[in-house]
Structure 1
Amino acid sequence: MTTVQSTIAQRATPRPERVVGDLLRAQARVAPSGRFLTCGESEMGFAALDARTDAVAADLAAAGIGKGDRVAIVCTNRIEMLELFFALAKLGAIQVPLNVYLKGEFLAYQLTDSQASTLIVDASAHTAVAPMLENLPQLRLLVPLDDSGTAPVAPAVRVLPYTQLGKAAAVPPSVALKAADLMSIVYTSGTTGQPKGCMLSHGYYTRVARVMGEASELTVDDVLLTALPLFHGAARMMVLMAGLAHGVPVVIEPEFRAGTFLARATKVGATIAYGVGAMGAALLATEPSAQDRAHRLRAMLLIPFPAERQQGFTKRFGMEAWSELFGQTECVPVTWNPLSGPRNAASCGRQGTDLEISLLDDDDRPVAAGAVGEICLRPREPLAMFSGYWGKPEATVEACRSLWYHTGDYGRADADGFISFVDRKKDAVRRRGENVSTQELEAAIGRHPAIAEVAAHAVPSESTDDDIKVCLVLKKEARVTPEELFGFFKERLPYFAVPRYVEIVAELPKNALARVLKHELRKRPMSDAVWDLKALGLTVAFDERR
C-alpha cells in the first residue's frame, strides 16, 4: 500500500458535451471497451452500457414515456437504477429519485408533488406505495423491478415489469435536448417546511462533473468508489457523472459496510472514495487489520469530519481524509480545496471557480471581515446551480432574493479566503447523512392520539451528525410509554428521522406570536426525565429500515 500520494499522473480531461446521453454516446465512441461502471457483481463498459440503455429507453418510449415526463424511482443502489439513469436521460424524461426509507405521508407527499406519471419500484417500495396508488391520479405506469407477488395495483395503472425491458437491441427515438433541459428533480428537506424539489438540468449535472474533476484532481488512472445512495445528488453528480465526463471507472456499492469497505476498495482497485463523515467514523471504529493499508486509495471525501479525526484517519489508513468541500443539492460544490492545493482542514475550502460567494447579514449586506454571515452565492456561468424549486416559484424567488441564492447556513471567512461552516440558519436536523425537516417530523408525530403538541430539534451526537430530541405535550390525562412511542415512530417515520430522545413537558415555550422558542428547548439539560430510546434498546435494526 502507498502512503498519501503525490505521484504525478496524467490528468483526466472532461469531455465538452453538456447533455448526459450525449456524454455516454461520446465515451462509447472513443473508448467502446473502456471499463466504466460496476455495481455489485454487475459490470459494463461504455459501449455495452450505451447499447443496453438504448434498448431500455426504446421500450420505455414505447410505453409512453417522453420528454418532460416525471418518472419517480424508489429503489436501493443496483444496476437497474444506473441503467434507468441513462435510459431516461436519453428520452428527456425527468427522473425523480426518492429516498428509499420514506414511508406513509412522507412518501405520498413527494409522489404527489412531483406529479410523476411513472413509478419504478423495488419490492419493498412496491409494498410501501401499494396503499396510496389510487390516490395518485396522475400515475399511469408502474414498473416493478422485482417480482412483487400479489401487491395490489390501482385499476387505472398499467404494470410493466422491468424484466420485460431491453430484451432486444433497439434504437430509442431521437429527442432534441439542450443543456438547460431538466435531467431530474431531487427533493431536499433542508428547511422547516415541506421538502422542495430541486430542478436540476443536464448542464448542471455536467458542471458538477467538471468541477469535481478539478477538486479531486482526477487522473486517467483513477477509479472512483462510493456507497452513497443514488437517490441523493452526491452519488449521481459528484461521483457517477464525474467518472462519465472524465472517462474513468466508477464503482457504486449497494450499501456501506464498514467491515468490508476497504477490502472491496482493494478488490476493485479504487483510488478515490466518496462518503460522509459518519462513514469515516465507522471505519475508525473497526478493529485495525491488514486491510487498513492494503488498498490503493489516495483520498476519501468525508463531510463533515473534524480536523482532529482527519489526522487520525490519514495516519491509520494512509490516505487523505478530505473534508474541504461545501454544497447543497441546489449547488454543489460551492466551496472546495483541491487535494494538492493550499489546504485548511478546518474549513470548507474557497469559493468555486464558476461562482461568486458573499457572507451576508439579515439585510443582505456583506458582513465585516471575520464576522459570521449567511453563505450566499450566484453563478458566474449559466447552469452552475439548480434551476429553481419544482412547482414553487415563490420559494425560488425567496431563496434567490437580492440576486443571491441563500443557503440558509452561516459561515465565516478568514483572511486567505477559506470559508468555515458555523451553524445552520434554518431549523433543520442532519441525521445519518439525511436532512430532516423538523416541521414534517412534528406533523407526523403530532398525529399520535395522545400528543397535543410536539417540538423537535437537534442535539449534539457522539457521531458527526445530529441526534434528534422531541419535546411532547400530552393531551389531558393521556399516558405514553417509551416502548409504545417507539413503535409508533418506527411504523410511521423513516428510520433516520426516529428521535433518540423524548421529553414529556407540561408546555412548550412560545413567543407572542405563539411560535415555539426552540433555542429555549435546546438549553434544557439531559436530565433523568429525558428518555434515551437508544439506551433503552429501542432502535431500528438494519433489516427493519424499510
Structure 2
Amino acid sequence: MSKEKYPIKDLPHPTTYLWENEFDYFWNTKSNQQNWTLPKVLKDQASKIPDKEFLQFSYNKALTFSEVNAVANQVANSLSKLGITKGDKVSVYMPNSLEICLAWFGILKNGSVMVPINTAYVMDFLQYIVESSDSKLIIIAEEYMDRLANIQTRIPLIENVVVWSRTDENTFDVMGYKEKECISWNDFVNRGSDSEPNVEVTHLDHARLMYTSGTTGRSKGVVRPCAADYSSAQNYSNTMDITTNDTIFTCLPLFHSNAMVMSVYPAMIRGAKIVVEEKYSASRFWKWMKDFGVTKFNLVGVMSYFMWNAPVVPEEKGHKVKLVLGSPAPHDIIEEFMERFNILFMEGYGLTEVGQCTFMRPGEAFRVGSCGKESSGYEIKIVNPETDEELPRNTPGELVLRPRIPNICLHYYYKMPEKTVSDFRNLWFHTGDLCRMDEDGYIFFMDRVKDYIRRRGENISSFEVENLVASHPDIEEAAAVAVKVAEQGRYSEDEVMVVVIMKKDKKLDPAELVRYLVPIMPKFMIPRFVKFRDMLPKTPTNRVQKNKLRDEGITKDTWDSLNSD
C-alpha cells in the first residue's frame, strides 16, 4: 500500500480499547521519586503479592515475585562477598534467559551498575565496553568464553568471571580463558544469602551504563539513574494500560532498553507476568502468543514486516493479545496488519539516553504516520539543526527535548564530558533525528540528521563501519550509508551499504571483504551491499557527501550479499 493512498489521518481504534486504569498524564508530578528504584519495587511486590507468577523463560516454570526477589538477594550478597560494592560496574554478556534478569535485579540490589553488552560484539568492540566501563566483574554465557579469551590480557580491571551455562551445571569450558578466577553461575548464586542486602539504593543512584553507537567516534556510555528507568517503565505501563492480569511478552534482546524497561520492568511495577523468549521466530511467534496467553508485546523496526510476510497460521487470530506497541508501527500496511492479526496498535519514539519520549495518547485516535505526542515528563520542540531556533508547525527540523521533572534522562555520558555538553547544548538534548510536529502536537519521524544507521534494532555508527572496512590492506577509503530495500517495506529499518575506493592496482571480491569483516565486526554491522567507485564525492573541506551516496542508492553494479553465489 502506498503512502499516497493513506495520507496522514486518524484511525479510531484506540478509542475502542477500554483502559482499565484511568490514564494520568501527570502521574510523575504526584509520585515520590524516592520510591523510583527497582530494588524497592521488587522487595515491595515480593511482600504484597509473594505467590503471584512474575518471570518465565519460554515454556519453563514461572518464578513468583518472592522467588525472584530471593534469588536477586542471593546475587547481590554474592557480589558483595566478591568485593563488588555500591557504584561498581558489572558487565553482563548473555543471551535472553531467566538468569540475565536475575543478574540485573541482583546487581541493582547490591547498589552496583549493570553494563549490558550486545552479544554480537566481538574483539575490539567487546574489549572497549568492558574496559571503558571500568567493570570489575563480568557475568558471561559459557558459549562466549572464547571471545573473552581473545581479549583477556586487554581487560585488566576484571577481577572475577561468573559463567552461566545452558546445561545448568557447575562445570563449564573456559575455552582458553585463564586470566582470572571463573565461577559457575550456580556456585555464585549459592554463595549468597537470600536475605535483603544491607545497601541503600536511591533514585539518584545509577542503575545501568548502556552503550549506544556514536556517529563520529566510539560508542557512548549512557549513565541512567534509577529514577530514569522507573519513569520509562511507568510511562509505558500507563500508556499500555498494564494491569496485574496482563501477560507481557518479549523476544527482544535484554541488553537493550526496550526489553528491559518497556517489558520486564513494567510487569514488575504493575504486578503482571512477563514471558521471555531468546529471540524472534516468525514460525513460532503466534503459537507463543496463544500458548503463553500473552496480552501485550512490543515490535521494533522490520519485525512487523517479517510477521506480515510469514505464512498464515491459525494462531495469528486465536490469541488474547489486546494491544501492541510499535516502534515504529508499519504505517503503510497498518490497517491490513491489524485486521489480519486481530490486534490494536500504539506507537512511541525513544532513545537510550532519554527513554520513550513520545507515545500515542490513550483515548485519542491513532494518527497514521505519527509516533505520538510528548510523553509525561518531557518537553519537545522541533528546531533548526544549525541554529536551535524553534521552527513553525509542520516544518521539518531536529527533535530536541528536555525533562519537565528531574532525573528521567541520562545523567551524562560516561567519561565523555565534551559529548555530554555538546548533546545538551542550549540546555536541550539533541536527538539527531529529523521530525516535524503538526498543529495538534503529533510528531512525525522523517529522517536522520546525524550520520548513523538503524538496522535490526541496532544503532550503527558509520564511523566504526568505515574504519573496519578501510583496515583491509587493499582498501584506500570507504564510506558507509543507510539504504532502504523496497521489498522490506517503506517503514522498515535500514540496510548497510559501503562504497569502497581501492588502492592503486588492487582488486577485491566483495565476498572476500565480508569474510574479512566477519571475525572483527558485529554481525548486524556487516554490510549487505558493496559498491566500488574510483572516488567519493566530497565537499571543498574534504568531507564525504553522503547525501549523494544515499540518493544514488542501490544501482545495477551494487553487490548484494543475499543474491551472491
TM bucket (normalised to shorter chain) is over 0.9
CA contact (8 A) 1:358 1:366 kept: yes
Mapping for residues 60-459 of structure 1, pairs under 5 Å: 60-146=79-165, 147-155=171-179, 157-167=180-190, 169-171=193-195, 173-322=197-346, 324-361=347-384, 362-459=386-483
State how far apart, in whole Å, the 2-side matches of 1:443 and 1:380 are: 39
2:535 aligns with one of 491, 507, 514: 507
Q: What's the counterpart of residue 33 of structure 1? A: 51
CA shift in 2, pair 1:140/1:12, >3 Å = farther
Which deviations, in whole Å up to 9, do the C-alpha atoms of 1:32-65 show, x marking residues without a partner? 0011111121421100111111122211211111
Q: Distance in 2 between matches of 1:166 and 1:489?
A: 38
Distance apart, 1:523 and its partner CA = 3.0
Shift in alpha-carbon separation, 1:278–1:532, aligned structure 2, 3 A: same
Q: Does residue 560 of structure 2 align to residue 532 of structure 1? A: yes
- SS at 1:59's partner residue? helix
- The CA deviation at 1:7 is 4.4
The SS at the match of 2:552 is: coil
C-alpha contact (below 8 Å) 1:311/1:321 kept by paired residues? no
| 1:118-137 superposed Cα distances (whole Å, 9 cap, x missing partner) | 11111232111211111112
Please tell me the residue identity of whatever aligns with 1:74: Y
- State the AA in 1 paired with 2:181: R
- Supply the distance in 1 between the matched residues of 2:116 and 2:557 (Cα, whole angstroms): 40
Does the aligned pair in 1 maintain the 2:148–2:177 contact within 8 Å? no
> Residues 212 and 190 from structure 1, CA distance in 2 versus in 1: closer, same or farther, beyond 3 angstroms?
farther
Structure-2 separation of matches of 1:150 and 1:90: 28
Please give the alpha-carbon distance, in whole angstroms, between the structure 2 residues aligned to 1:401 and 1:313.
41
The alignment partner of 2:62 has SS state of strand
Equivalences for residues 455-474 of structure 1 within 5 A: 455-461=479-485, 462-463=487-488, 464-474=492-502
Deviation at 1:352, TM superposition (A): 1.4
* 2:306 partner SS: helix
How many angstroms apart in 2 are the aligned matches of 1:145 and 1:454? 39
1:164-191 per-residue CA deviation (whole Å, 9 max, x = no partner) reads 0232743354112210100010111153
- Aligned equivalent of 1:543: none
Alignment partners' CA distance in 1, 2:47 and 2:504:
71
SS of 1:523's equivalent? helix
Instruction: Decide which of 520, 528, 552 is 1:492's aligned counterpart.
Output: 520
- Aligned-pair CA distance for 1:405: 0.6
CA–CA separation in structure 1 for the residues paired with 2:455 and 2:355? 20
Report what 2:503 is aligned to. 475
Count of matched residue pairs: 533
Give the deviation of 1:309 after TM superposition.
1.7
Q: Tell me by how many angstroms 1:91 deviates.
A: 0.4
Q: Kindly indicate whether the alpha-carbon contact (under 8 Å) linking 1:210 and 1:242 is maintained by their aligned counterparts in 2.
A: yes
Q: Give the counterpart letter for 2:328 in structure 1.
A: P
> Are the counterparts in 1 of residues 293 and 320 from structure 2 also a CA contact under 8 Å?
yes
Q: Find the aligned partners of 2:271 and 2:174 in 1 and give their Cα distance.
A: 43
TM-score (structure 2 length as normaliser):
0.91
Whether the 8 Å contact between 2:20 and 2:241 is mirrored in structure 1 is no
CA contact (8 A) 2:19 2:241 kept: no
Residues in 2 aligned to 1:313 and 1:141: alpha-carbon distance in whole angstroms: 48
Whether the 8 Å contact between 1:450 and 1:474 is mirrored in structure 2 is yes
Question: Structure 2 vs 1, CA of residues 8 and 514 (structure 1 numbering), >3 Å: closer, same or farther?
Answer: closer
- 2:41 corresponds, among 4, 7, 23, to 23
Q: Distance in 2 between matches of 1:241 and 1:191?
A: 30
The structural deviation recorded for 1:6 is 2.7
Residue deviations 1:267-288 (CA, integer Å, cap 9, x gap): 1111111121322211111211
Q: Are residues 150 and 387 of structure 1, via their aligned partners in 2, closer, same or farther at CA, if it must alter by over 3 Å?
A: closer
Deviation of residue 321 (structure 1)? 3.1
**Which moves more between the two structures, 339-348 or 377-386?**
339-348
Cα distance, 1:477 vs. partner? Answer: 1.7
Alpha-carbon distance in 2 for matches of 1:298, 1:503: 45
Q: Residue 430 of structure 1: CA displacement?
A: 0.6
What is the root-mean-square deviation in Å for CA atoms of aligned residues? 1.9
8 Å Cα contact 1:123-1:148 kept in structure 2? yes
Helix, strand or coil for the counterpart of 1:394?
Answer: helix
* Cα distance change, pair 485–385 in 1 and its aligned pair in 2 (3 A): same
Q: Does the 8 A contact of 2:146 with 2:177 survive in 1?
A: no
State percent identity of aligned pairs. 29
Residues 495-527 of structure 1 show CA distances to partners (whole Å, capped at 9, x for unaligned) of 111111111111112222221111122233533
Quote the Cα distance in structure 2 between the aligned partners of 1:395 and 1:117: 25
User: SS at the partner of 2:333?
Assistant: helix
Q: Is the 8 A contact 2:39 2:201 kept in 1?
A: no
Contact 1:279 1:302 in 2 (8 A): no
Instruction: Name the SS for the 1:436 alignment partner.
Output: strand
Retained in 1: the 8 A contact 2:142–2:174?
Answer: no
Give the Cα–Cα distance (whole angstroms) in 2 for the partners of residues 276 and 528 of structure 1.
Answer: 30
Q: Structure 1 residues 5-14 or 367-376, which shifts more?
A: 5-14
**Cα displacement string for residues 322-381 of structure 1 (whole angstroms, at most 9, x for unaligned residues):** 3x2111001121111134333212101011121111111121110122211111111111
How far has the Cα of 1:150 moved from its partner? Answer: 4.3
1:396 counterpart SS class: helix
Instruction: Measure how far apart 1:88 and its partner are.
Output: 0.5
Q: Distance in 1 between matches of 2:292 and 2:535?
A: 56
Shift of 1:422: 1.2
Q: Which amino acid aligns with 1:380?
A: R
Secondary structure of the 2:500 match is: strand
Change (3 A) 1:245 1:170: closer
Q: What amino acid is the match of 1:9?
A: E
Q: Verify the 8 A CA contact 2:383 2:391 in the aligned structure 1.
A: yes
Cα distance 1:439–1:42, how it changes in 2: closer, same or farther (>3 A)? farther
Distance 1:457 1:397 in 2: 27
* Change beyond 3 A, Cα 1:305–1:8: closer
Cα deviations by residue, 1:16-42 (Å, 9 ceiling, x for unpaired): 621111110000010000111111214
Amino acid at match of 1:398: S
- Cα shift at 1:237: 0.7
Distance 1:503 1:182 in 2: 44
Distance in 1 separating the partners of 2:194 and 2:330: 50
Task: Give yes or no for contact 1:11–1:218 (8 Å, CA) kept in 2.
Answer: no
Confirm whether residue 6 of structure 1 aligns to residue 29 of structure 2.
no
